[in-house]
Structures are given as structure tokens and as C-alpha cells.
Amino acid sequence: MGNYSQDLNRYFECNKLHKNFLLKFIAPIVFPGVQFVFSYRIRAWFARYHLGILEILMLRLEEMIFGTSVLRYYGVQIGPGLYMPHPFGVVIGGATIGKNFTIAQNCTVGGKKPVGALGVEPPGWESKDRISIGNWVFMGAGSCVLGPVTIGDNVIIAANSVVTKDVPSNVMVAGVPARVVKQL
């Protein structure tokens, strides 16, 4: 649960709540972004200790409440500092994501081709069809990353963009298909 404390601190900093003790106390109760990230980190803990049925039950609960699927059984790994201001309609599968990742509502991170049901994948699937996202990446509302692709550090993916090719570090991408529109 060490990642959750970093997630919570990032949430406070992004929302200017780090100085307000009362809001820090009630944030996990009131803000859906904090609630979803907390639920995801609990699921990661269940997976680490091989409590698969609890993980699946928690995933189904998240899907009912938030309409969001972060599919750990497809090998999703997310570093500390995850920030989801509006955790609704998000799907993440088959990705390794770095620190301080921000993802807005209605975003998809996943492969371009279908894979087996319930995480039963053909041999070698993880090695060749994964998405790799660096540190300090922002995904705007409605954007998609369709892999396998690699996204560098400090990248902004504009709203409603579709990334289908590798993205270097320190850039902003936009469009369908996404292309570099600005160096950061």
C-alpha cells in the first residue's frame, strides 16, 4: 500500500488540498478519483498475495461503480503517483506505466488486436504486445493508446487523440493518428 500514500499525496497536490487537514481526512470518502485508486491498490495487494477471487470481485465492483477496468490479469503495472481526477469509462490492459501518470475520463490503453478471454494469452504475448508508458505522462479526455507502443517520459497526449506509434520523451501529441505538435 506504499504506492497509495504517494497517489494520495499527488491527488492533494494537484487539487491544492495539501494544506487543508480536514479535506485530507475526507478526500477518500468524497472524491471518486481517490476511491478508485484506493480500490485499485487494494486489488494489487490481493494479487500479490494470490487472493484471486477477492481481486476479481473488487474489479467487478469497480466496473459497476466507476465503469472502469484496470485489468491486472493482463499484466497491468502502474507506478506510484497515479492520478485519475474523473475515473469513469477508463480501460487499461497490457501496459506497464511509470510514476505520476494522469489519465482523464473515457480513455483507453490497450492492444490493437484481440487477446484471449480472462487473461489466457498465447505464449509470448506479454513480451511482444505490451504498451510501455514512461513517467509524468498525461492522457487527455477520450484519448486512446493502442499498442504495442512505447511512450517516453514527460508526454502530453491531447484530448481525443489516438496514439498508434511510439512517442519520444518531452513532447505533446495530438490528432488521429497522433503526431508531435509541440516540444516540451
| pTM of the predicted protein model | 0.86
CB 132 within 8 A of CB 153: no
Q: Read off the C-alpha cell for 14.
A: 494537484
Quick: pLDDT tens for 11-64.
888 877 766 777 777 777 888 988 999 899 898 888 888 888 898 899 899 999
The predicted pLDDT at position 117 comes to: 47
Long-range contacts of 60-67 (CB under 8 A, 24+ apart): 62/36, 66/32, 66/36, 66/90
Q: Which domain holds residue 96?
A: 2-116+123-183
Do the Cβ atoms of 75 and 99 come closer than 8 Å?
no
* Measured distance CA(147)–CA(133) in Å, rounded: 11
Q: What are 58-115's pLDDT values in tens digits?
A: 989 999 999 998 887 667 889 999 999 999 999 998 889 999 999 999 999 987 765 5
Number of domains present in the structure of the chain: 1
Q: Provide the phi-psi class of 157: left if phi over 0, else alpha when psi is between -120 and 50, else beta.
A: beta
At 133, list the grid cell. Answer: 508508458
Beta strands at 171-174 and 179-183: parallel, antiparallel or unpaired: antiparallel
Q: Which CATH number is 166's domain given?
A: 2.160.10.10
pLDDT at residue 127, rounded to an integer: 53
Distance between CA atoms of residues 52 and 73, nearest Å = 10
> Shortest CA distance to 50 belongs to which of 22, 73, 21?
73
